[in-house]
Each structure stands twice: as C-alpha cells, then as structure tokens.
Chains A and B, each alone.
Chain A
Amino acid sequence: MYLPDFDYYVPASVAEACQLLAENIDCAKVISGGTDLLPKMKHGLLSPQILVSIKKIPGLRKIEYVQGKGVVIGAASTINDIVFSEVVQQKYPSVSNAAHTMAANQVRHSGTVGGNLVSAVPSADMPPILMALNATATIEGPNGQRQLPVEDVFCGPSKCLLEKSEIITEIIIPDQAMTGSTYFKFALRRAGALAVVGVAAAVQVENETIKDARVALGAVAPVPMRAKKTEEFLIGKKISDELLEEAGKIAAAECKPITDFRASEEYRRDLVRIYTKRALCKAIDQGHV
C-alpha cells in the first residue's frame, strides 16, 4: 500500500487536458476525485506516470437546468454536489437519492460522477438511475465533441468506450416523459458498502397503464445493463401486482450475475426479482423518488 511516484498536471481547460493526455497517451490518466484511481495505484493495479487533474477546469463542476437540453451535470461534480443540488432535488429527487446511497460521506465529498462512470465498475451506483432516465454523456477529445448514451459508455468491467485522450465533460438528463423513477441499492450494510444488486426503474404511467418503462440493473452483469425484456413486457400493460411480480421474474431471468464473496448468483437473481418489483411499484406510485 504505497503510492508510486507520478507527475501531476492541473490543466486550465478541457482542450489543454486532452492535449496532455494525447501527448502522453500510454502513461497518462485523468484524475478527478481520485477515490477509485488512488486505491488502485496503491494496490499496484495501475501505475500511470502522469495524472491529469480535471478539478480546476472551469465549468466542469456545475449543475444546472438548460432549457431544451435538460439537467446538465458537470462531470467533475462530486457525488455530494448531486445529493445536495437544488436543481436535481427539484427535477429528479431519484437521482439525488441514488447518489446518497453511495459509499460514505467522505467518499461522496471527493468522488465525482465522471469518475463513477469511467471507472466502469459493475456495481457503481450512478449508472442505473442515469440509464433509466436515458441520460447521455458529453465526451471531448482532441478531435472534438461527441454524445454517447450513458449505457453505451461501458464495455466491460473497468472498461469504457472512451479514447485514452478523451474526457467526459458533462452528463445530461434530458427532459422526461417518464412520470416516475427510483433507484434501489441492496448492500450488506448501511454505508460504505458496494451494491450487491442495484435496480433503477423509470416509468411513464397513463390511465393505470405503463406507456413506457426503462429498467437498469447494477452489479448483476459485467456492465450496468438495461433489462430490455422486462421493459418490453411492461410497455402497454395495465398495472397490477401480478404484472410487477412477473416483471421481476423476467428481470431475474435476463440478468447475468456471478457468485462472489458478497453474494451468490442465485441470491442476486432473486434480489433482482424483488427489487425490480419494488422499484417499479415505487416509481409508479410516488414519482421521481
């Protein structure tokens, strides 16, 4: 547990950061809150010679509502920024609440939403709710800017579809037709525990019928995943206990959990069943909570 030597850069703009990354393509890494990166470096899992901090880049830490765009969350916003953001609390308390399930206060104070996505941990707490709300990430690199749905950012455990010279600058939650959304995290203690299962659901309810639904699952596949069969099953159906029960079963069947020392595959599947049902129920009844 010893942090190896590295050089530390604090660029003043996104362009400068991307240039630094491009120039040192094999030995540089972005550091944001460092809560994921530094432990990995201490364990000898990574040894970048250059760290490029994005914390001082103006604009990367603001959270605002932009007409026509949606809720825009700067990638360097800390998890607690999201927890306490008035904009988020007003528009999507479900996102603020999901952020609050993460880690413990100290980690929420330094960990950022960009880092939470790019670390691409299957159990990360922000992706499911962002995916359920169809959020996109704005990615900037030496060759300009592109948009990627959050669910397409991940391509494997600790792997992202980001070029080494690219950074995520913001996450956009578009204006919703969804009438409700929520995130359930099942963990083995009340703070400082990773999700054994995370379930986010967003629904559009009209006349007791599910007009649209998005269900996203964490910790039960190599990457945070959409439960698309579950969604298809739900759309257009009249709400009933049996419907939600059945949806839970479909989600349990389509997820791909593994057994590790925290939980067995079997247990995780059953938890997906239970929490899909509970999440849908809550999103239907209570709005964005």
Chain B
Amino acid sequence: MEGIRYPKENTLYKKKEYTQIGQSKPRIDGVSKATGAGKYCGDLKFPNMLYGKMLTSPHAHAKILSIDTSAAEKIPGVIKVITHKDVPSLKYGISPARWDENVLCIDKVRFVGDKVAAVACVDEETCYKALKAIKVEYEVLPAVLNYRTAMNEDMPQIHDEYPRNINTEIHQLFGDVDKALEEAYHVRTDVFEGQRTYQCPIEPHSAISIWKDNKLTVYSSTQSVHYFQYYIAREFGLKMGDVRVIRPLVGGGFGGKLEPTGLEFNGAVLSKLTGRPVKMFYDRAEMFAHNRGRHQGHYEITTGVTKEGKILAAKANFVLDGGAYTSLGIATAYYAGGLLPLTYDFENYQFDLMRMYTNLPACGAQRGHGAPQPKYAFESHLDNVARDLGIDPIEIRKRNARQPNTNTCNGMGIQSCHLTEALEKIETITDWKAKKEKGLPKGRGIGMATGSFVTGAGYPIYRNDYPSSSCMVRVNEDGTSATLYANAIDIGQGSDTVLCQMTAEAMGYRYENMKIVTGDTETAPLDFGAYSSRQTAYCGWACKRAGEEIKAKILETAGFMMHLPPEDLECEEGIIFSKSRPKVEPITFEEAAKKYFIIKGPLVGTGVYTVPRLGGYHKGAPVATSPSYSFCTQAAEVQVDEETGEVDVIHAWDVHDAGQIINPALMKGQVHGAFGMGISETIMEEVVFNKDGKIINPDVGGYRIITALDMPDFTNDLIPSNDEPATPWGLKEIGEGSNNPTMGAVRNAIYDAIGVNVASLPLSYEKVWRAIKEKKEKEQAAK
C-alpha cells in the first residue's frame, strides 16, 4: 500500500519513544491559514443573507425614554428594525445569581456601547443609514466612572439589585492570619494598581444566524460552541437539540469570545423575523466597546515573613473594576486571589475582594484570567520584602517555593511540581549570580518572577453534570484515515493539531493520516471549549481513551488475522507486530481496520473525561481548582534610558514546568506569544476613557500592542518531566501561565535598573520618567 513503510529489519519490538507526540508536527490548519484559503465566520455568505448591525448607547448612563424606529423602517433596503420589545427579556450572564444583561436594553443603558436596537438590511451600507435614522430619547444620568469611589453612598446606582454598586464581594480566611502577622519578624504592605486591557484578537467577532423551520443554526467566532448552544437555547426557550452552533476558523480569542454577545442573540431574532440568514459583526471600535477584557484593579498585599524570608501569612485586599455587567467577572474575582497561594507555600491567608459595577464596558476573562495583575502585585511586593531583608530575589522564592504533593492553604492539591528546579535553572541561564555580584551597566537591570496556572478549570462555566470533554474517532472504511470528532475549539492555540497527535499516538496510528471535525454541536460530542487552558489536557484524555479503544479493537482483529493473541500485539505508527515473536510478518493498521469494517461495521472509538471533585468546601472553593498546575519562572533584563524613561527589554528567559510536551513548536509559540502579550500589557496597553466614559483609543493605532520589532530576544527553556498523574501523558497547560509572571518580572527588572518603584500598570515610559524625576528631586531636597 502506498505510503506505508514496512521495516526491513524487525526492530519494532524494542521499547520505543512516543512516535506522534513530543514532535513538532506541522499544524493541521497551517496551510489553509497561511494561504488565506481557510474561512473565518466573516468570510461566509449564504443565499439571501442580510446584514445586521446594532445601535448602541452614546451615553455611559441614561434612561431610555423612547425609541422611534419609524424613519429607519422607511429606508429602502431596511428589512427589519428591532428593539427590546422584539427580543426575550430574559437576562443572561455567567451564573444565575449574576444574570444581569439584556439582549437589548429595556429602560436604561449602562455604558457607552450598550445595546439599544438592531437592524437587518440588504447590505452593510444601508445598516448605517438605518442606525442613523433611529431616534432614541435619553435622560442622561450621572455616571459611575471610577471604581474606587463606586461604593460611596452618594454614587448613582447602576443596577437596582446591587446596592452601592457592589457586584461581588469575597471574604476568605484560611488559618490564623492575625496571629501569624503578629509573630512575624517583618511585616510589609504594598499597593499596586492595574490597568484595563483588551484582548484585541486579530479576527473581529462575527455571527451568522439562520432560523429556519424551528431550528436555529449559528455560525460564530466562538471559543465554546457548547456554551453558546446552551445560552442561546435558554434565551429563546429552544431545545438544545434544535440549536446548532458551528465555529468556522477562529482568529484568536484570549477569553473575549467565550460568552455569547448581542451578535448571536440579535442575529437570531432578526433571522427569525425576516426568515433569512443574518450576518452580524463588530468592527474594531465596536469590539473595544463590547470589551470583556482584563479588569483593572487596586491590589493591596501584606505579608509577614521570618528573618529568613519564609512567608508566614499573606493578606490580599483587592478592588476590581467590573464595568457595567458581570460577564465572566465573578470567576475573575475568585481567580484573582485563589491562585496566589499556588507558587509559594504559606499556611495563613486572607483574601478580600470587591468587584465593582461602573458605567464602563464590562470586563471578563483575559488570558491568565484574573491572575496576572494580582501576581504582578505579589511578585513586586516579594522583591520589596527580599530587599528589606537583604535576601536575593531568587533565594527568597526558593525558600517559599511550592513542592510536589502538597496542598495549598485554600484547598488546592498539587501533584507534579518542579518550581524549585525552574528557579535553579533561571538562575543559571540568566547568569544571575554574576550579574548580581558584578553589577550591571548603568540603567541596566534584571528581574524575575514565578508563575503558575490551572491545567483546566475544575468546574464547568455553568452548573451541570456533563463530563468535561468527550470525543469520537471513526476510522475510514479502508483504514487510510481516521477522523476525530471533538468540540474542543482551536482558536489559534493549535488544539486541533495536538489532539490529532494524541489520538494517533493512542491508536498506534500516524498524525499525517488524521482528519478532524471540530466546533459543530451537531456532528461532534460535547466539550466546554477553549478556556482555562483545559483543551489539551481534558480533550486529550478523551482522545487518548477513544484512541485506545480503537487500538484494542484493531488488535483483536489483527489477532485473528495473524493467529496470535491480541495481548501479544502492539501497534505503532500504523504497523501491527508481535511483541514476543520478532520474526512474524507485521501487518498494517490499514489492513486490520479494513478487515474490522468488513466483519463488524464502522470502526469507532469514543472517549470521555470528567474532572474528579476537587477543592475545599468554602464559598468560592471551585474556582482555581484543577487536576494539575503548570509552573514557570521568567526573567527579564531591561535597559532604561534614565533621561527619557524609555524601557528596552533586551532579553527575556522563560523556564517552564509544563510536563510532557505534545508539540514543541506549538509550545514555543504559546510561551513566546504569551510573553509578548504579557510584556505588551506591562509596558504599553491601556484602554483609555474620556470624562464621559467613552473609549478614546478603540483602534490598534491608539491602543498600542507590541509589534514584532518590540519583542525582545527570548530564551525558552524547560524542566522536562512526565510525572503528572492527573493528565494524559503527564502534560500540563502552556497557554495562560506563561503571561502570569511577566508583569512582575519586568517591574522587578526596572526597579533593579533605576531603583524606583513604579506601582501602576502599564509601566509606561512616562511613568518611569516621572518616577526617576521624583527620585532625583527627593535626593536633591535631602542634600
């Protein structure tokens, strides 16, 4: 058979390394994406398709007095105009206690960009004419734009149900913090400030809804077809089986495409009312207005330490700016403090948080969900503590580093953990000791930080008892290919590729012969999708199990064909051979698969994975639980221009404890990309509002993301391991932990360079300039 490689000498019974995983196989979607042949949602067109757009609020906070659509309806080419009267009034959001968002606003708008009306027209241009012709009368209300004062008694109330604009309040206490702080040798408190950033994926959100014969089909650029299916069905009172959600190629999500938007809900209504497919999409400015990016926050950290720098107790007191709606922010809030006890081992921990409503766009989940800014605060604080005590920053981290097979004080169980080795390695590869002893040139500094993240959230995003992931593999009748059906969502991170590698490994097959069908609720079985860095581990388990089922079936058939017991057979890279009798002629996977089909019918394997119950019993215990955690250390060397404040990151290092690597090239892409995103958020990115709550930089010119030219030289290193029992092949997440340490590492490097603390993100050139200036002025005054 063509393409099949028979071994000349039979060396197959020797123990081999993995053949499909651990290799940099080319991306399964690489060619179609690189050549532009691949189709994203915005590329799709259907016969008779209409274009839809939403009218949004120009005010941050206002009562809607009236909406007059009559003029818009008269414009030729306008097919339908809808307001809140035409859509379900059922609110949606992340959890029943926080369903606070309407498909279209009913009596009030709560941020500039809130959804007021929607139109469906024959073309895009007519949509804009129609939007202009809709007359909305508002009574402008005073707006809450500052999250720090949002809880004040005299502030206007944004949602009737939430007094003093408090969206979420968290108070967790583990151990005896007060006692530990009393007994501590040194207690220090620092305050840091984070900024609002936005995911800004390259592909804008879009959705095409087709409501026909009581069935609703939605094509959407989503991170989770299941979550969309569930929420869309719920909103319209449809059976889940009558809602089909399909994900064409997705050009990045970073957390911002995890929840359904007005595009899906309004598109569905417009399609139902017109009987035609309706395409809706955001342009770049509308994406910014919809937002759901990273929360900005105020982070107060206190620790009490021994003379040697061992942390006895930690206190985290945070306030987050949640924006006008909950979005996924309640999870963000719990993550903000929940993940802090991961990298360092301390017994006593207090975590208090307020997530505030403001009249600004809602914040949600962004890469590292809730963790990066608090981690920045903690890592900056820890460097301050080390300086107070005269301990080297790496040394203090070693003294507190999380060890394998331990539990955190807030109820998380860690099995595999190589943080100590990662600390040792970063010390070596950065030449840390020499740099610290000999000192660096003027304006040069080096800093580091640690990070960690969940390999999949321990609990699903909405309450249900479904398994976490499932999949199905069907081998083609003649055995020359196998198709994986899974609803794991490839948003660019490469899950389609690694899942095919893992399936092929488990089957004893070849990656090159794999096909994949993903992101379609009607053809592939349930998976909750791409968030919390869960896809490779969770769907990986399902793929491994489905693959192993196929392998068992095929070996049984091969046993018949080869007159050997199946237990004596093994299958690797599509070759089936006897383990004990090297002289027996091997047969191919293809031959056995074909025979199976002839005798038994379709050769199918299925796999399922359910996360075991994890975590403690306190309120909020589920968030931050995971079967497994990645760990990493990062260092950055910066050169600061002491006159202008310009920060140049010269080199950065990352040492990852990510378990078994499935695809080294994709791993590097993730670490590299996450570090780039991290550094961009550290130095440049910030969503800026004017005094009326309108974003003044809703475009990629004003909202600065680093370019390739700004990316420093980067060393990507690993602590190789495969001792994590909770994941398939001992892998760990790689997608989100990688930007967990970045902000702290860069901040610490800047401090090392110029000896000043810039306590708010982004660490912009101007802030660094100002800090240097103030330091000089102080020194002069002291003279």
Contact = CB atoms under 8 A, between A and B. Distances in A.
A190 B696 contact: no
A2 B128 contact: yes
B27 interface: no
Given A1-B284, A188-B684, A190-B707, A263 B128 contact: no
A270 B710 CA distance: 24
Contacts of B707: 104, 189-192
Given A189-B684, A191-B707, A191-B709, A261 B766 contact: no
Contact of A261 (B700, B702, B765): B702
A229 to B, nearest CB: 22
Contact of B704 (A188, A270, A274): A188
Interface string B682-723: 001000100000001100111010111110000000000000
A104 B707 CA distance: 10
A267 B766 contact: yes
B777 interface: no
B704 A2 contact: no
A271 B644 contact: yes
B76 to A, nearest CB: 15
A2 B688 contact: no
18 contacts: A1-B284, A2-B125, A186-B646, A188-B684, A188-B765, A189-B684, A189-B704, A189-B709, A189-B710, A190-B709, A190-B710, A191-B707, A191-B710, A192-B701, A192-B707, A193-B701, A261-B697, A267-B769
B643 interface: yes
Interface of B: 124-125, 128, 283-285, 643-644, 646, 684, 688, 696-697, 700-702, 704, 706-710, 764-766, 769-770, 773
Contacts of B710: 189-191
Nearest to B127: A2
A264 interface: yes
Contacts of A189: 684, 704, 706-707, 709-710
A194 B701 CA distance: 8
A1 B766 contact: no
Contact of B688 (A190, A194, A261): A261
Nearest to A44: B128
Nearest to B680: A189
A201 B118 CA distance: 54
Contact of A264 (B700, B701, B766): B766
Contacts of A261: 688, 696-697, 702
Nearest to A1: B283
Given A189-B710, A261-B696, 9 more contacts: A2-B125, A189-B704, A189-B706, A190-B707, A190-B710, A191-B709, A261-B697, A267-B766, A270-B769
Contacts of B643: 274
Interface of A: 1-2, 104, 186, 188-194, 261, 263-264, 267, 270-271, 274
Nearest to B124: A2
A194 B700 CA distance: 12
Given A261-B696, A261-B702, A270-B769, A1 B709 contact: no
A186 to B, nearest CB: 7
Dominant secondary structure at the A interface: loop
Contacts, number: 46
Contacts of A1: 283-285
Contact of A263 (B124, B696, B766): B766
Contacts of B704: 188-189, 193
Contacts of B646: 186
Nearest to A190: B709
Nearest to A104: B707
B52 to A, nearest CB: 14
A180 to B, nearest CB: 22
Contacts of B700: 192
B195 to A, nearest CB: 12
Contacts of A2: 124-125, 128
Contacts of A104: 707
A219 B773 CA distance: 22
Contacts of B684: 188-189
B706 A186 contact: no
Nearest to A260: B696
A270 B772 CA distance: 13
Contacts of B709: 189-191
A241 B558 CA distance: 86
Contacts of A193: 701, 704
Contacts of B769: 267, 270
B125 A186 contact: no
A2 B129 CA distance: 11
A197 B124 CA distance: 39
A242 to B, nearest CB: 16
A8 B498 CA distance: 50
A288 to B, nearest CB: 24
Those 9 A-B pairs whose CB atoms lie nearest each other, nearest first: A190-B709, A1-B283, A191-B707, A261-B688, A267-B766, A274-B643, A191-B709, A190-B710, A189-B710
A23 B80 CA distance: 41
A247 B769 CA distance: 21
Contacts of B283: 1
Nearest to A273: B643
Nearest to B709: A190
A73 B10 CA distance: 73
Kindly name the residue among B124, B644, B704, B709 whose own CB sees the greatest number of chain A CB atoms within 10 A.
B644
A117 to B, nearest CB: 20
B688 A188 contact: no
A279 to B, nearest CB: 13
Contacts of A270: 769, 773
A22 to B, nearest CB: 30
Contacts of B125: 2
A188 B709 CA distance: 12
A191 B684 CA distance: 13
A193 B699 CA distance: 12
A188 B768 CA distance: 13
Nearest to A271: B644
A97 to B, nearest CB: 16
Nearest to A275: B644
Contacts of A191: 707-710
A188 B680 CA distance: 11
A283 B451 CA distance: 47
Nearest to B770: A267
Nearest to B689: A261
Nearest to B696: A261
A189 B679 CA distance: 12
A263 B706 CA distance: 18
Nearest to A278: B643
A264 B128 CA distance: 36
A270 B128 CA distance: 44
A192 B283 CA distance: 20
B122 to A, nearest CB: 14
A189 B602 CA distance: 57
A271 to B, nearest CB: 6
Nearest to B128: A2
B680 to A, nearest CB: 9
Nearest to B641: A274
Contacts of B770: 267
Nearest to B767: A267
Nearest to A270: B769
Kindly name the residue among A188, A263, A274 whose own CB sees the greatest number of chain B CB atoms within 10 A.
A188
Nearest to B700: A192
A2 B125 CA distance: 7
A129 B138 CA distance: 50
A158 to B, nearest CB: 16
B644 A274 contact: yes
Given A1-B284, A1-B285, A264-B766, A186 B128 contact: no
Contacts of B764: 188
B553 to A, nearest CB: 54
A190 B712 CA distance: 12
Nearest to B701: A192
A188 B648 CA distance: 11
A25 to B, nearest CB: 27
A264 B284 CA distance: 26
